Chains A and B, each alone.
Chain A
Amino acid sequence: MPRPERTSSSPAETSPRETVATVPVGPERAHRPSAPSEHAHPSRRTALLFAGLALALGGAIALFLTWGVDGHWDFALPRRLEQVAALAVVGIAIAVSTVVFQTLTQNRILTPSIMGFDALYVLVATTLVFFLGAATAEAIDPLAMFALNAGLMMGAATALFRWVLGDGTRGLYTMVLVGVIAGTFFSSLTSFMFRVMNPNEFDTLMDQLFASFNAIDTGLLGIAAVLLGAGIVAVYWMAPRLDVLGLGRERAITLGLPYQRTVTTLLLIVAALVSVSTALVGPITFLGLLAANVAYQLTRTHRHVINLTAAALISVLALVLGQALLAHVLHFNGTLSAIINVVGGIYFIVLLLREAHA
């Protein structure tokens, strides 16, 4: 968030020239207390935060698994465990992809979903069935189909958003506009293909695509988890580089980060993670925004290792709690995506307004 520029100097500020003019550099100088105790403070805070989030998540999962089972354990438990696993994969994929994307674009409002990434995944899947035909598409193993979709999606998204991001100097509002237009354009193309498609193809596609939280495509859970695992390892491995990217494009280049290559790699990972979540449950626009921003507010650090972990925990927590509430309080009158989009959408508007005022 832009901070007001102040040129006035506070009383605490002392002129640097004393140092230079009179004081030799080196340890002989009388040391001011540089407060190592304060330095320990943030890490304890982080540990407490993680403990709190983990506890909350554990509680939510326990609640989700046991609420209203009424003795039918052998029926309910495996189904619910599978659901929890799917919610975890989706939640982590969305949180991690959002945090990475926000660092790439240097903003805390845009997410891959808002920029039309999941709409692009749906478009890729639709185009594939459209051109291959129902017979061919059905003959392909669902796992292979997913891999094909994800691969194409990674290529298309990376090429497109490399170009959209340009040299990183476009303003936030240009990006929002481009995202909204791109998302709408992808959806329109998709629905155009739905219309001209023959019914068999449409059927095949519906099978593949229209997963939701109430009908999670658990057949893909295994491969999705593997892809997610690979993505997470790559992102955590690149965390120091992400920290540097967080300083902005120019400083990252100055500090010797191969900027173009790093951005391309990260975009590929984001596209893979979006493929994972969209294939399992379909598009959920505002979850990433919610999880990432709540995480930033709680962690108050620039370090990606911490922010990524916190965002992932919050994201999974929101999904599990939301699904439990949906099942037992709302009795499935509605969808989890709808609830998340209402809450997240309001939050999005609040953030946008706050940014406009700052």
Chain B
Amino acid sequence: MIAIDSVTKSYGDATVVDAVSLTLPDSGVTSIIGPNGAGKSTLLSIVSRILGADAGVVSVEGLDVFSAPSREVAKRLSILRQDQHLTARITVRELVEFGRFPHSHGRLTPECREAVASAIEYCDLAELADRPIHQLSGGQRQRAFVAMVLAQDTRYVLLDEPLNNLDMVHATGLMRLLRSLADDHGKSIVLVLHDINYASVYSDRIIAMRGGAVVQDGPPTEVITEAALEDVYGMEFRVHEVDGERIAAYYR
């Protein structure tokens, strides 16, 4: 369990995350939605200790992420950020091998190699394994970073807007992959999404944020409703039932 307790972060007068308390589950897919500037990515950065909080505590399986040994936290929690830029010249396999760093500290054990090979296979990267990252397309690169996170083999996987820059084929492919990680490997996937329909179809739970606070929290049947979405985004929505899924229309 990830416990977030009254976490606050401000920049000057602007409070970006305002005393948020949440618990994130041990398994399943949890989506965080909300308008730009709602504090979603900031909250995820704080949970993954990339950004310090002004107040509040975050703990992963009882370990305080800011004071516990970084390596112990890294064995439990990983994050995939939006940024795909790399200065280093590196191949797909080498990138995925970095995912083993918390476990191996730079020396790959046979177990590590196995984890790397299966992550590469799982993300369908076998043909690209020896290609440099910078020669790949956006979608391929995204998969390489996902494979690195898989190789890290943490119970909690956080993803910050992983569908950015992906076309619908790759976006759907990635969402299926994440879903299967939760179902087959019992991982807890927490992701920030802008496409509320992906959130609706793939999530077990949806957390909606607005103005730095959590305003909705529940299964898709509760959050993907016209009233709830209008409350979160301040615009009109029509929610339709399509093939048993709740799909929101918001284009007019």
Instruction: Judge whether A199 is part of the interface by a CB distance below 8 angstroms.
Output: no
Q: At the interface, yes or no: B199 with Cβ under 8 Å from chain A?
A: no
Check if A91 is an interface residue, CB within 8 A of chain B: no
Q: Shortest distance in angstroms between A117's beta carbon and chain B's nearest beta carbon?
A: 21
Report the bound CA distance from A22 to B63 in whole Å.
Answer: 38
Q: How far is the CA of A7 from the CA of B171 in the complex (A)?
A: 12
Contact in complex: A246, B70 (CB < 8 Å):
no
Name the contact of A25 in the complex, choosing from B49, B50, B79, B121 (C-beta under 8 A): B121
Assembly CA distance A20 to B147 (angstroms): 13
- Distance in angstroms between the alpha carbons of A3 and B141 in the assembled complex: 12
Q: Are B130 and A34 in contact (CB under 8 A)?
A: yes
A20 touching B180 by the CB < 8 A rule? yes
Stretch from B9-17, B97-105, B209-217, B223-231 that touches the partner: B97-105
Q: Are A25 and B122 in contact (CB under 8 A)?
A: yes
- Which of B48, B83, B127 has the most chain A CB atoms inside 10 A of its CB? B127
Give the residues in chain A near B19, CB-CB below 8 Å. none
Interface window among B88-96, B186-194, B233-241, B244-252:
B88-96
Q: Across the interface, which residues of A come within 8 angstroms of B126, CB to CB?
A: 31-32, 34
CA of A316 to CA of B48 in the docked complex: distance in angstroms? Answer: 43
With A3-B134, A38-B130 known to touch, is A256 a contact of B177 (CB < 8 Å)?
A: no
With A7-B166, A21-B176 already in contact, the answer to whether A2 and B85 are too (CB < 8 A) is yes
User: Does B138 sit within 8 A of A, measured CB to CB?
Assistant: yes
A325 to B72, CA, bound (A): 55
- Contact count band on A: 35 or more
Q: How far is the CB of B127 from chain A (nearest CB, A)?
A: 5
Asked if A219 is an interface residue, CB under 8 A from chain B, the answer is: no
Check B169–A8 contact: CB distance below 8 A.
Answer: no
Which A residues are CB-close (under 8 A) to B122?
19-20, 25
Q: Contacts A7-B139, A256-B70, A302-B90 hold; do A17 and B130 have CB atoms under 8 A apart?
A: no
- Rounded to whole angstroms, the CA-CA distance of A340 and B159 in the bound complex is 47
Distance between Cα atoms of A248 and B123 in the complex (Å): 23
Are B79 and A16 in contact, CB atoms less than 8 angstroms apart? no
**Shortest Cβ distance from residue B242 to the other chain A in the assembled complex, whole angstroms:** 20
A250 at interface (Cβ–Cβ under 8 A)? yes
In the assembled complex, 26 residue pairs joining A and B whose CB atoms fall closer than 8 Å, in A order, are A3-B134, A5-B165, A7-B137, A7-B138, A7-B166, A15-B173, A16-B170, A16-B174, A16-B177, A19-B177, A25-B184, A32-B126, A34-B126, A34-B129, A39-B130, A108-B87, A241-B106, A244-B101, A246-B87, A247-B88, A253-B50, A256-B69, A256-B101, A257-B71, A258-B71, A296-B89
* Interfacial residues, chain A to chain B (CB-CB below 8 A): 1-3, 5-10, 12-21, 25-26, 29, 31-32, 34-35, 38-39, 106-108, 239-241, 243-244, 246-251, 253-259, 296, 300-302
Contacts A5-B138, A17-B173, A106-B87 supplied; 20 other A-B pairs, CB < 8 Å: A6-B137, A7-B165, A8-B137, A9-B139, A10-B137, A15-B173, A16-B170, A19-B123, A19-B124, A19-B177, A20-B173, A20-B177, A25-B118, A25-B121, A34-B126, A250-B50, A251-B81, A254-B50, A254-B74, A256-B71
Residues of B near any A CB (own CB < 8 A): 48-50, 69-75, 78-79, 81, 83-90, 93-94, 98-99, 101-102, 105-107, 118, 121-124, 126-130, 134, 137-140, 143, 152, 165-167, 169-170, 172-174, 176-177, 180, 184
